[in-house]
Amino acid sequence: MIVLVNGGSASASEIVAGALQDHRRATLIGTRSFGKGSVQTIIPLGSGNGALRLTTARYFTPSGRSIQAKGISPDIEVLQDVPEEIQARAAVTETRGESSLRGHLKAEGDEQGGSQSYVPPDTKDDKALNMALDLIRGTKINPAFPPNPKSATLPN
């Protein structure tokens, strides 16, 4: 199985991708994910009094890796060619990531910035998708594909 990820992949999709990666059930292709590794509940404090943001959970992969402000790194990084007319709009070509948001929940250890999130409208120009198809078809090889479930390193 191959899972495509990029800077636009966040929250639940990161948990699924990270779990498949930890268990060596999928090869992740693309760029690092967003890093939304927490669940927060907003509690209104009444009219004009603002709100309280309460963190109620943090996301971890089965091996114990934190997703918060780090994201999930792909097994095979594939950067997309971004047309010049779109490069001027940095928000389209690179997502800032959770770590760049004001007031974000801090990560344990090093935080990671955003990563590329551009997906071309025509599938023939999508480098990550085409890499995935080439690997599945056997026209390209990479040591990360197929993953070996026996090499999964999970806590007991």
Spatial separation of the C-alpha atoms in residues 93 and 83, rounded to whole Å:
9
Spatial separation of the C-alpha atoms in residues 67 and 99, rounded to whole Å:
11
Which one from 33, 36, 75, 115 is the annotated catalytic residue?
36
Give whole-number Cα distances, 7 to 1, 2, 3, 127, 153, in Å. Answer: 20, 17, 14, 15, 26
Which one from 11, 63, 66, 100 is the annotated catalytic residue?
11
For residue 8 the two structure tokens come to 């636009």
Catalytic-residue membership of 11 = yes
Which one from 9, 22, 33, 115 is the annotated catalytic residue?
22
For residue 114 the two structure tokens come to 């955003």
By DSSP bridging, strand 38-44 and strand 27-30 are unpaired
Catalytic-residue membership of 36 = yes
For residue 80 the two structure tokens come to 């997309």
First to last CA, the chain: 25
Residues assigned a catalytic role = 11, 22, 36
